[in-house]
Amino acid sequence: MADIFCGCGTVAFEAKRNGIDFWGCDINPVATLIAKVKSKKYQSNLLHKYLLKIIDKYSNSKNSTVNLDDVNERLKYWYDDKRIYELTWLKNSIEQTISKRSDYRLFFLCAFSNILKATSRWLTKSIKPQIDPNKSPADVLSAFKEQCRLMMIANDESDVSSQSSTKIVTANFLQAVNRIEIVDMIVTSPPYVTSYEYTDLHQLSSLWLGYAQDYRDLREGSIGSIHHSYDFNRELKRLNDTGSRIVFRLLEFDKRKARSVARYYLDMQKVTEACYSMLSKNGIALFIIGNTKYRGIQINNVRHLAESLKEAGFHEVLFTKRKISKKILTPYRDKAGRFTTNSKSRKVYSEEFILIGSKS
């Protein structure tokens, strides 16, 4: 089984607990860190042992010097000096306690990553990066201990199997597809065409964990990124019929948005072709995706994907619809297409579709 946009590893976890070999890929290194930790079973006694050592080293590090001149300027924007000192001591304590080659280091770095927004000035549950001027950031060590406690409980309750193999890589799927073995099944949920840049939302972890000096560098290569560079007029001709109709309709209102949607659709057409090539005979690909609207224009991602699957060679493309009942973010948009909490505004993302294509 494979998940080509594996994100934080839900499919990886389910494959592991059912004893199914798994290959996953995501361009976001923060997501793949979480996926690797989620799909592994850790020894409880070692987790508790390492946690005590990390806390002890942290306590002995509290008077060590942190040169603020060496701290990324973007982190100074999100954190006060006290939190920068404490987070630096904590990260160093993890890395000095556990070998770089150990999966246990990943566990505690994942816990570290999960407290970065709570200990910052980041507006809680915000859909885009913004400072909350009234926020009182959480205490670093207390937040870390609680996060570890929750993760240890989840690990104890986990029933993942050790009988199957799991491989998760950080890469652009379209560049990594030729490096994997043939699989029988693909289960995945592509990024939404009108979504915010995921790297922007995960910038704190990307910077603290050293995945980038400038989090914006991680945008390059993501599916449909507005930061791709290509010849619009030439590439536009490669869009399938559904994609062309939507993009030309958007061109009447917003050329920038039209270009963004075209990039996404062109990338998704390549994705379906790559999925076909990596599947065995009689293999199936399952995509979970939703439609969107922009200024009243229907962005029919489902129809575009179905057409792309057929053009890639899949037959018997089936679909079903399901309601989304437990979404963290508000389902409402204002007239400009921005998220809003006003329930009288237009409701979006209240349903999604499951598309299944089979390879003969």
Please give the residue that has the higher pLDDT: either 187 or 163. Answer: 187
Q: What is the mean pLDDT of residues 209-213?
A: 88
What phi and psi values does residue 89 have, to the nearest 5 degrees? -60, -40
Q: What is the mean pLDDT of residues 335-353?
A: 65
Q: Any residues with CB less than 8 A from the CB of 210 and at least 6 apart, and which?
A: none
CA distance between the termini of the chain: 17
User: In the predicted model, is pLDDT for residue 229 greater than 60?
Assistant: no
Where along the chain do the CATH 3.40.50.150 domains lie?
A: 1-37+166-199+213-225
pLDDT in tens, 182-201: 999 999 999 877 554 666 77
Residue whose C-alpha is closest to residue 116's, from 105, 129, 104: 129
* Spatial separation of the C-alpha atoms in residues 58 and 94, rounded to whole Å: 9
User: Virtual CA dihedral for 99, 100, 104, 110, nearest 10 degrees?
Assistant: 140
Mean pLDDT of the chain: 87
Q: What is the pLDDT of residue 200?
A: 76
List the Cα angle 204/31/153 in 5-degree steps.
95
Please give the residue that has the higher pLDDT: either 236 or 137. Answer: 137
Q: What is the pLDDT of residue 162?
A: 74
**Mind giving me the DSSP string for 288-333?**
EE--EEETTEEE-HHHHHHHHHHHHT-EEEEEEEEE----SS--EE
* Spatial separation of the C-alpha atoms in residues 205 and 224, rounded to whole Å: 22
Q: What is the pLDDT of residue 175?
A: 84
User: In the predicted model, is pLDDT for residue 282 greater than 90?
Assistant: yes
CATH code that applies to domain 1-37+166-199+213-225: 3.40.50.150
User: In the predicted model, is pLDDT for residue 128 greater than 80?
Assistant: no
Q: What is the pLDDT of residue 227?
A: 45
With a pLDDT cut of 70, the percent of the chain lying above it is 86
